[in-house]
């Protein structure tokens, strides 16, 4: 038994070493990724459910690693959060999104808005407002054409600072969305205090919206809440016509998901067409 204990301990530390090594390798690699242009953005269309028009795209980051190939954000965003690099990454996303808006404009392709995912850490250190301004100014882009997506649960800490920063950005015209809405804890109390334009219902509730009573009830409640507070409601992760039909019947404003399009390159976005919604 003693022998076995040692072995499993050995195994455990090997696993830990491997994880620590992997972590460090990604953290070091990220510094270089920013310098060597290994990061890029894909853009996922969002449509208005009534007009079926493109209202914007969400920018989703990817890492083309020289040896490991394509790395998805789930692998490196948490590491960037821990190391503080997430702020540099956020700045890079804002700058790249603004440059892309300008490029599309010059090609006579109009994308109303690009939504960028921003970490709470970036909002909390209160530089985000200046960073958004700098990116807009550098590319001559109007504030309303950039959206910021912040996850709901991260807003619970330092509510005063965060609300001040968000108000500053909002006053200048930047569109604000609460991401993954419904997965955090009750932020309902100060939802009315925050200058939020949009509630983005998390995919986990959309999955069952055509079948499960509990998911339907939650989605219904979020839509009603949005309406009462004067906010737009967008459903993420919409994959089929049944879900889109239920959402439209419930009065949801907008949808995003594989039914509309998967995340696309800046070139692919230009040939995107709306799905033939049967309602
Ligand atoms: P998120 O903000 O909730 O982004 C939506 C994720 O769902 C994306 O995964 C997208 O590709 C995926 N998705 C979109 N439509 C569907 C669908 O119909 N079905 C399913 N099953 N999935 C769908 P992705 O691109 O892997 O991003 C994962 C997460 O990484 C994002 O979740 C976001 O939290 C984070 N992330 C992505 N890009 C950035 C970034 O530039 N900065 C920061 N801070 N975080 C980012
Ligand atoms: Ca998002
Ligand atoms: Ca989301
Ligand atoms: Ca989500």
Q: For residue 1, report the distance from its CA to the centre of ligand 3, in Å.
A: 48
234 CB within 6 A, ligand 1: no
Higher-pLDDT residue of 14, 214:
214
Q: What is the mean pLDDT of residues 45-69?
A: 97
- Assess whether the C-beta atom of 257 lies below 6 angstroms from ligand 1: yes
Query: Does the beta carbon of 179 sit less than 6 angstroms from any atom of ligand 1?
Result: yes
Distance of CA 60 from the midpoint of ligand 2 (Å): 8
Distances (CA, A) of 54 to 109, 137, 266: 12, 25, 14
Q: What are phi and psi of 47, to 5 degrees?
A: -120, 155
**Atom 43 of ligand 1 has which residue's CA nearest to it?**
117
pLDDT at 151 over 70: yes
What would the two tokens of residue 17 be? 């070493």
Task: Look at residue 84 in the predicted model and tell me its pLDDT.
Answer: 92
CB distance 96 to ligand 1 below 6 Å: no
Residues 166-188 have pLDDT tens digits of 999 999 999 999 999 988 765 67
Distance 227 CA to ligand 4 centre (A): 21
Quickly state the pLDDT bin for 126 (edges 50, 70, 90). Answer: low
249-259 pLDDT, tens digit per residue, is 999 999 999 99
Q: What is the pLDDT of residue 8?
A: 74
pLDDT range class, residue 15, cuts 50, 70, 90:
confident
> According to the model, what pLDDT value does residue 20 have?
87
**181 C-alpha to center of ligand 2: Å?**
10
Strand 146-151 and strand 114-117: pairing? Answer: parallel
Residue 1 confidence class, pLDDT cut points 50, 70, 90: very low
Alpha helices in the chain (DSSP H): 2-35, 73-83, 85-106, 120-124, 128-139, 159-171, 188-191, 203-206, 213-229, 241-249
Sign, CA dihedral 218-220-223-224, equals negative
* pLDDT for 11: 73
Q: What is the pLDDT of residue 14?
A: 78
Read off the pLDDT of residues 190-247 as tens digits, 9 standing for 90 and up. Answer: 787 789 999 999 999 999 999 999 999 999 999 999 999 999 999 999 999 999 999 9
The residue contributing the CA closest to ligand 1 atom 45 is: 117
> 75-107, pLDDT tens digit by residue?
999 999 999 999 999 999 999 999 999 999 999
Averaged pLDDT of the chain: 92
| CB distance 253 to 48 below 8 Å | yes
Contact 266, 105 (CB under 8 A): no
Region 51-65: what's the mean pLDDT? Answer: 98
Query: What value does the mean pLDDT take over residues 47-76?
Result: 97
Q: Provide the percentage of residues in the chain whose pLDDT is more than 90.
A: 80
Mean pLDDT (whole number) for 112-131? 92
Query: How many residues belong to the chain?
Result: 279
């Amino acid at each position: 038994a003693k022998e076995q204990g040692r072995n499993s301990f050995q195994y455990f530390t090997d696993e830990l070493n491997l994880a620590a090594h992997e972590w460090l390798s990604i953290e070091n690699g990220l510094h270089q990724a920013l310098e060597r242009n290994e990061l890029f953005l894909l853009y996922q269309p969002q449509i208005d459910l009534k007009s079926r028009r493109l209202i914007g795209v969400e920018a989703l980051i990817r890492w083309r690693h020289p040896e490991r190939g394509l790395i998805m954000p789930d692998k490196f965003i948490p590491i960037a959060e821990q190391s503080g690099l997430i702020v540099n990454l956020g700045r890079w996303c804002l700058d790249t999104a603004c440059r892309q808006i300008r490029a599309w404009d010059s090609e006579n392709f109009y994308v109303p808005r690009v939504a960028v995912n921003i970490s709470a850490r970036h909002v909390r250190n209160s530089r985000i407002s200046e960073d958004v301004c700098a990116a807009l100014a550098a590319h001559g882009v109007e504030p309303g054409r950039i959206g910021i997506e912040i996850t709901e649960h991260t807003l619970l800490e330092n509510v005063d600072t965060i609300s001040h920063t968000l108000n500053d950005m909002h006053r200048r015209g930047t569109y604000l969305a609460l991401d993954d809405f419904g997965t955090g804890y009750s932020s309902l109390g100060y939802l009315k205090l925050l200058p939020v334009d949009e509630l983005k219902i998390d995919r986990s509730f959309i999955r069952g919206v055509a079948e499960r009573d509990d998911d339907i009830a939650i989605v219904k409640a979020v839509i009603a809440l949005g309406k009462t507070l004067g906010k737009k409601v967008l459903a993420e992760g919409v994959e089929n016509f049944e879900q889109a039909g239920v959402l439209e019947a419930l009065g949801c404003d907008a949808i995003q998901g594989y039914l509309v399009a998967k995340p696309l390159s800046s070139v692919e976005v230009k040939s995107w067409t709306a799905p033939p919604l049967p309602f």
